[in-house]
C-alpha cells in the first residue's frame, strides 16, 4: 500500500507467452504493489497457461477475444472489485519497466494527481531505446495535432503505461468506449474533460522482437482514430457538438482547487 491506499497493477494480456512471466516477476517485486491482475484476452498461445500458474496473481481468461480496449475494461472492473485505490496498467510485453510503478503510485497516492502516464518521449531517448523511426515521427505528429485540439500539453498520448485513482476510474463511463486500440485515446479525452491534471514521467523505451506491435494498416487506422477523438473533444469543449462519451456532469469535476482533487 501507499499512504494506506491499495495498489493494484493490471496487465491486459494477449499472446504474451514470451514476456508475461518476466514482466510479472518484476511487477510483484516492486514496493507498494498489493495485487496483480492478469486478464488473458483469449490468446492463441500459452499466455493463459503461464498466467494461471503465477503465484499471487489474480488471473482471468476471457471466453472470447474482446480487443485491447475490451480487455482493459475487464482489468479496471476487476481491480475496483478487489478494492483498489490506485490502479496501474502495465503491458505484459516488457516494453515498459515495472520499476516506475512505485513512482506512479506515489504521485496518485499523495493526492497530487488522479492520472499518471509513463512517457517514452520525455527524456529524448526514445530512438536510442529502439523505437522505430516511423513510429517516433507518427507519435510526434499525432501528439502535436492532439495537443492542438484538446488544449493539453502532453509529450505523448500513446503510451501503454498508465496510473489512475479509484475516484477517477469510477467517475468516467468506460463501457461506451471502443474495444480497439483507440480506447486509450478516448479514455484520455474523458479524463481531460473532468479537468484532472495528467502527470507524466519519463519511461525508458525498450523495443525487441518479442514485444507486441500492430500492423501498418491498423497503425494507419489508429492514427486517423486519434485525430477523430481529438476533433470530437474540441467540438464538444467548444459547445459546437456534444459527444456521449463526455458526460456534461463530469466537465471540470476534478479541476484544480476542487474538493475532489485531494484527500
Does 262 fall in a domain?
A: no
Question: Do 36 and 27 contact (CB within 8 A), yes or no?
Answer: yes
Does 258 fall in a domain?
A: no
- Asked whether residue 258 carries a pLDDT value surpassing 80, the answer given is no
Quickly state the pLDDT bin for 130 (edges 50, 70, 90): confident
Q: What is the arithmetic mean of pLDDT over 176-193? A: 97
Quickly state the pLDDT bin for 131 (edges 50, 70, 90): confident
Secondary structure (DSSP) of 157-217: S--S-EEEEHHHHHHS--TTS-SSTTHHHHHHHHHHHHT--EEEEE------TTS----HH
Parent domain of 110: 7-250
Cβ neighbour number for residue 151 with a 10 Å cutoff = 10
CA distance 126 to 124: 6
Which of 251, 239, 213, 105 has its CA nearest to residue 165? 105
- Asked whether residue 207 carries a pLDDT value surpassing 80, the answer given is no
With H, G, I as helix, E, B as strand and everything else as coil, classify residue 65.
Answer: coil
Quickly state the pLDDT bin for 226 (edges 50, 70, 90): very high
Q: What is the arithmetic mean of pLDDT over 103-110? A: 97
The CATH number assigned to the domain holding 174 equals 3.90.550.10
Does 257 fall in a domain?
A: no
CA distance 28 to 86: 15
Q: How far is CA 116 from CA 38, 52, 157, 222, in A?
A: 20, 29, 12, 22
pLDDT tens digits along 133-164: 988 999 999 999 999 999 999 999 999 999 99
Return the residue matching grid coordinates 480487455.
Answer: 71
Does 32 fall in a domain?
A: yes
Q: What is the arithmetic mean of pLDDT over 221-249? A: 96
Cβ neighbour number for residue 61 with a 10 Å cutoff = 16
Quickly state the pLDDT bin for 107 (edges 50, 70, 90): very high
Does 237 fall in a domain?
A: yes
Split into its structural domains, the chain has a count of 1
Does 261 fall in a domain?
A: no
Cβ neighbour number for residue 200 with a 10 Å cutoff = 19
- Asked whether residue 193 carries a pLDDT value surpassing 70, the answer given is yes
Residue 139 C-alpha cell reads as 507519435
pLDDT tens digits along 39-87: 999 999 999 999 999 988 999 999 999 999 999 999 999 999 999 999 9
Cα atoms found within 13 Å of the Cα of residue 246, Cβ hemisphere only: 26
Which of 177, 190, 185 has its CA nearest to residue 156? 185
- pTM higher than the cut 0.75: yes
CA 174, 178, 181, 183 dihedral sign is negative
Q: For the chain, what is the mean pLDDT? A: 93
Amino acid at each position: 500500500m501507499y499512504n494506506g491506499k491499495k495498489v493494484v497493477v493490471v496487465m491486459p494480456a494477449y499472446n504474451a507467452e514470451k514476456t508475461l512471466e518476466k514482466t510479472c516477476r518484476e511487477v510483484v517485486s516492486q514496493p507498494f504493489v498489493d495485487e496483480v491482475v492478469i486478464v488473458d484476452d483469449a490468446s492463441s498461445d500459452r499466455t493463459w497457461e503461464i498466467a494461471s500458474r503465477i503465484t499471487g496473481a489474480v488471473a482471468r481468461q476471457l471466453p472470447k477475444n474482446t480487443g485491447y480496449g475490451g480487455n482493459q475494461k475487464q482489468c479496471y472492473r476487476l481491480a475496483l472489485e478487489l478494492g483498489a485505490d490506485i490502479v496501474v496498467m502495465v503491458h505484459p510485453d516488457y516494453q515498459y519497466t515495472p520499476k516506475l510503478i512505485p513512482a506512479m503510485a506515489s504521485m496518485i497516492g499523495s493526492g497530487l494527481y488522479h492520472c499518471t502516464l509513463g512517457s517514452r518521449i520525455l527524456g529524448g531517448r526514445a530512438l536510442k531505446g529502439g523505437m522505430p523511426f516511423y513510429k517516433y515521427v507518427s507519435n510526434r505528429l499525432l501528439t502535436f495535432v492532439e495537443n492542438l485540439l484538446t488544449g493539453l500539453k502532453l509529450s505523448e498520448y500513446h503510451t501503454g503505461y498508465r496510473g489512475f485513482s479509484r475516484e477517477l476510474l469510477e467517475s468516467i463511463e468506460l463501457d461506451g468506449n471502443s474495444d480497439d486500440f483507440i480506447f486509450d485515446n478516448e479514455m484520455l479525452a474523458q479524463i481531460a474533460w473532468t479537468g484532472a491534471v495528467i502527470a507524466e514521467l519519463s519511461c525508458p523505451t525498450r523495443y525487441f522482437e518479442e514485444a507486441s506491435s500492430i500492423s501498418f494498416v491498423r497503425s494507419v487506422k489508429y492514427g486517423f482514430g486519434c485525430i477523430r477523438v481529438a476533433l470530437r473533444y474540441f467540438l464538444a469543449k467548444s459547445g459546437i457538438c456534444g459527444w456521449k462519451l463526455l458526460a456534461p456532469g463530469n466537465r471540470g469535476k476534478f479541476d484544480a482547487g476542487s474538493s475532489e482533487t485531494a484527500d
